[in-house]
């Protein structure tokens, strides 16, 4: 089971069965299709969303966090897969659904919280992701979370009349360890200390040890 963690803007919690309809809507949103798959026309069936939900709940190498505001409004998702404890790596994707919640720091805060979970609690030493070169906001957010470019896959997709590249980015445990004190200070200032709720819906609040 994934923890529920609270930052200065975002609360991250495990996906619940009640989220399936919302996840389906995000998966079929043209903007999300563009940013996540370089394909605004990409569609995902409800059966596939349900299949993935089951996988997230049963396969420990993958999972899905729902990104919420501090007053528990669901605004996006952060998924991961290939979490291999023996080699200590995993891959993730992130997407905030409503445009009005993008560019306001929720994704960056949520991503930092989940990075701390991977590095501190899951023994991961490197987290990887891919981003299309036209997605400058996402790349800026990833850099704010410590990610650096590792490689570029050229002309990976044809979108909006031109070829785009896939930028492969990663953040290591060493880099995380440098940045974490700054993030912790921000969470402390916000009064949440990046704390963990024992379970979704619980009112109990316990800051990390």
Give the footprint of ligand COA on this chain (CB under 6 A): 35-36, 76, 94-96, 102-108, 131, 135-138, 140-141, 144
Task: For Cα atoms 60, 197, 79, give the angle at the middle one, nearest 5 degrees.
Answer: 35
Residue with nearest beta carbon to ligand COA: 107
Nearer to ligand COA, 62 or 135 (CB): 135
Nearer to ligand COA, 103 or 201 (CB): 103
| Rounded Cα distance, 201 and 80, in Å | 22
The H or E element spanning position 48 is helix 46-58
**Are residues 147 and 126 in contact, defined by beta-carbon separation less than 8 angstroms?**
no
| Rounded Cα distance, 106 and 144, in Å | 12
CB of 65 to ligand COA, least distance (A): 12
| Rounded Cα distance, 180 and 172, in Å | 12
CB of 83 to ligand COA, least distance (A): 18
Nearer to ligand COA, 45 or 136 (CB): 136
Nearer to ligand COA, 41 or 60 (CB): 41
């Amino acid at each position: 089971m994934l923890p529920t963690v609270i930052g200065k803007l975002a609360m991250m919690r495990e996906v619940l069965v009640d989220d399936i309809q919302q996840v389906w809507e995000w998966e079929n949103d043209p903007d999300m299709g563009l940013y996540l798959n370089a394909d605004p026309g990409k569609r995902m069936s409800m059966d596939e969303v349900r299949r993935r939900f089951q996988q997230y709940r049963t396969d420990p190498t993958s999972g899905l966090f729902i990104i919420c505001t501090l007053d528990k409004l669901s605004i996006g998702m952060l998924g991961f897969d290939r979490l291999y404890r023996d080699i200590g790596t995993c891959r993730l994707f992130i997407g905030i659904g409503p445009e009005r919640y993008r560019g306001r720091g929720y994704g960056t805060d949520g991503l930092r919280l989940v990075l701390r979970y991977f590095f501190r609690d899951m023994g991961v030493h490197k987290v990887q992701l891919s981003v299309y070169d036209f997605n400058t906001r996402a790349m800026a957010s990833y850099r704010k979370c410590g990610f650096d470019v590792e490689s570029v896959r050229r002309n990976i997709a044809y979108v909006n009349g031109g070829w785009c590249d896939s930028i492969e980015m990663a953040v290591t445990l060493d880099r995380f360890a440098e940045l974490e004190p700054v993030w912790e200070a921000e969470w402390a200032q916000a009064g949440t200390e990046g704390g963990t709720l024992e379970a979704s819906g619980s009112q109990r609040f316990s800051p990390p040890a």
